[in-house]
Amino acid sequence: MTENSKVLINARIKDIKASVVSQWPSQIWNHMLVARVEQSCNKYKISRETRPICIKIIYLGDHVKVKGFMAPQALTYYKEYRSTMGSKEKLLVVMVAVAAVTAALPFAVIAAPTTASLAGCKNHCGSVSITYPFGMDKQECYLNVDFRIQCNNSVPYLGDSNIDISKIMLLEGQMRLPMFVGRACYNQFGNYMSKDSNDPSLRLGRFSISNTKNKFVAIGCDTIASVQVQIFGLNGNVSTGCNTQCNEMTDIPSGDCSGIGCCEANIPSEVGKYTIFMATYNFHRDVSSFNNCSYAFVVEEGEFNFSASYLQNFNEETMPVVVDWTVDNKTCDEARKDIASYACGDNTHCVEPNGNGYICKCMEGYDGNPYLSDGCQDINECNNQSLNTCKFNSKCHNTIGNFTCICPKGYHGDGKTACVADRSRSTFNFLFL
């Protein structure tokens, strides 16, 4: 480190001590200097004498996070100054070193909760696993009201709605819901039978129907079906759909929703609300002997296979639908600038799956819940042969977020593509892939 850099850092320390430290309550200092110090200092091999000032700074684009560990990029500055400064100066040197790169130094405690802080939260409703950011009962058990779950008679419902949830897919940022099948039935004279019919709808708030995981399907031989949707950012509604006509049961191929007796349409992206409508060409009078109802529904890809027998009797009341959820409407860049509300924990990266908010994912080499500050834990690839590529009798060695392969004694190489004999053994003795 140059003398100019030392002067700059010392000047910044003086400024920060005057303008920031004096405003921090003692409990904030205590939180940062004590919380989870043993684990973090062991990880970065900080000496026992200096553990009380071990912190972590997570570099997030143009911001930093203070949390109770030390980031590797700040370690060099910390080690150089730790023997000559008091504990608070040492703490500030690390902060300033990272701030010099970012030109901004916001101090905040991370928004993401810890595994321990959620120990008192219920994590199941019936057979459905309820995982943070979703939660039940207490406010601290879920991220915000969008993720509140009500458990009634062992059935989880989204917030105060009547939308029940069959599965939450944490890593994909999705959930599966059972949604009603639409029906429009007529008697042999073409009269509408209202008691056997319905036009289902779904309103999701800020979540959206997945356009990549669902399709719109209609069944019938005198059927015009449409799904009217409301798309985020657009005024009014738009519609999509399909129609199908046929005269005889023998016209209809089973197992193929090809437009004869069954038709499909794609779902637009970013749909937060839909309603299903059905119409008819001749009120099913010409086909009432084998098909007196039209059916229409949104369904998850791969969860519906058409059969010609469905024209006579389709008994399914609901079909599975996949819903995309995101933390809020911010981009990743916007979210990272608001440290107090940024939802991603340690060892994560931010993803924008559909242009309407962000989700969190564990970094490669880590696994767990990315919405908890300690949720993404290192994967020990050496314990699972399918996760490491060590060959040639090389020994797998786990590292934080990765692994290495160590060739047998007397050989060198990466242990993955080759282990070559050392020259002292033989210039021609080697192992290769």
Q: Which domain holds residue 139?
A: 116-174
The lowest-confidence range among 42-46, 315-319, 320-324 is 42-46
Question: Helix 26-34 and helix 87-102: axis angle, to 10°?
Answer: 80
Is-contact 284 292, C-beta < 8 A? yes
Question: Which of 324, 343, 362 finishes a domain?
Answer: 324
pLDDT tens, 68-111? 333 443 444 344 444 444 444 444 444 443 343 333 333 333 46
Average pLDDT (375-404) is 92
What's the pLDDT score for residue 192? 95
What secondary structure letter does DSSP report for 50? Answer: G
Within this chain, do residues 91 and 232 fall inside the same structural domain, yes or no? Answer: no
What's the pLDDT score for residue 100? 37
Residue 192 resides in a domain: yes
Residue 366 resides in a domain: no
Q: DSSP of 19-36, one letter per residue?
A: HTGGGS-HHHHHHHHHTT
Is-contact 69 53, C-beta < 8 A? no
Residue 330 resides in a domain: no
pLDDT greater than 50 at residue 383:
yes
Paired tokens of 84: 């000559």
Residue 337 resides in a domain: no
Q: Which of 161, 163, 270, 277 is nearest to 209 (CA)?
A: 270
Average pLDDT (358-372) is 96
pLDDT greater than 60 at residue 234:
yes
Residue 336 resides in a domain: no
What's the pLDDT score for residue 37? 36
Q: How many residues does the chain have?
A: 433
End-to-end CA gap in the chain: 44
Within this chain, do residues 247 and 280 fall inside the same structural domain, yes or no? Answer: yes
Residues whose CB is less than 8 angstroms from the CB of residue 18 and which lie 6 or more positions away in sequence, other chains included: none
Within this chain, do residues 183 and 65 fall inside the same structural domain, yes or no? Answer: no
Within this chain, do residues 95 and 145 fall inside the same structural domain, yes or no? Answer: no
Within this chain, do residues 180 and 307 fall inside the same structural domain, yes or no? Answer: yes
Average pLDDT (306-331) is 94
0.75 surpassed by pTM? no
- At 291, the pLDDT band (50, 70, 90 cuts) reads very high
State the chain's mean pLDDT as an integer: 79
3-state secondary structure of 53: helix
The lowest-confidence range among 62-66, 122-126, 132-136, 256-260 is 62-66
Residue 264 resides in a domain: yes
The lowest-confidence range among 47-56, 187-196, 199-208 is 47-56
Within this chain, do residues 180 and 270 fall inside the same structural domain, yes or no? Answer: yes
pLDDT tens, 147-157? 999 999 999 99
Question: Which of 174, 202, 221 finishes a domain?
Answer: 174
* 133-140: Cβ within 8 A, 24+ apart: 133/327, 133/343, 133/371, 134/168, 140/113
3-state secondary structure of 42: helix
Within this chain, do residues 88 and 141 fall inside the same structural domain, yes or no? Answer: no
What's the pLDDT score for residue 380? 94
| Strand-pair partners of 223 | 244
CATH code assigned at 405: 2.10.25
Residue 338 resides in a domain: no
Please list the alpha-helical segments (H only) found in 291-430: 332-337
Within this chain, do residues 210 and 242 fall inside the same structural domain, yes or no? Answer: yes
Within this chain, do residues 261 and 394 fall inside the same structural domain, yes or no? Answer: no
166 vs 258: CA distance, rounded Å: 29
Is-contact 93 17, C-beta < 8 A? no
The lowest-confidence range among 14-18, 311-315, 343-347 is 14-18
27, amino acid identity: Q
What's the pLDDT score for residue 424? 65
Question: What is the number of structural domains in the chain?
Answer: 4
Within this chain, do residues 199 and 282 fall inside the same structural domain, yes or no? Answer: yes
Is-contact 241 228, C-beta < 8 A? no
Question: Which of 73, 102, 131 finishes a domain?
Answer: 102
pLDDT greater than 70 at residue 134:
yes
3-state secondary structure of 324: strand
Is-contact 102 12, C-beta < 8 A? no
Average pLDDT (342-356) is 91
Within this chain, do residues 163 and 196 fall inside the same structural domain, yes or no? Answer: no
What's the pLDDT score for residue 3? 53
pLDDT tens, 13-57? 444 444 433 333 333 333 333 333 344 444 444 444 443 343 333
What's the pLDDT score for residue 256? 86
Q: Which of 151, 181, 186 is nearest to 165 (CA)?
A: 151
Q: Which sign, positive or negative, has the C-alpha torsion 373, 375, 380, 385?
A: negative
pLDDT tens, 324-340? 999 988 999 999 988 88
Within this chain, do residues 130 and 181 fall inside the same structural domain, yes or no? Answer: no
Residue 428 resides in a domain: yes
What's the pLDDT score for residue 136? 95
